[in-house]
Amino acid sequence: MAGPITIQRLARGQYQVLKHGQHVADIQRSTPDEFGYCAEMPWMLRHATGRIDRQATYEDAVDEAHKI
């Protein structure tokens, strides 16, 4: 069930996604030196369950976070 989320910036390229005050995911921009880096989709939505969704833009990652 989708609901209101809050996104808090932790550092440059790192954000925490909260839903009703509980941590549900992180949004992170990957860098070329990381394993699994994809230049076309550098933004990752890391769910608390372990699932990782790759997105082309930060805005796309936020849109996906609203669906959690």
pLDDT at res. 56 = 95
Q: For tokens 């209101």, what's the residue?
A: 4
Q: What is the full DSSP assignment across 1-68?
A: ----EEEEEEETTEEEEEETTEEEEEEEE--TTSTT--TT--EEEEETTS-EEEESSHHHHHHHHTT-
- The rounded distance, in Å, linking the Cα atoms of 4 and 36 is 31
pTM over 0.95: no
> 10-64: per-residue pLDDT in tens?
999 999 999 988 999 999 999 888 887 888 899 999 999 999 999 999 999 999 9
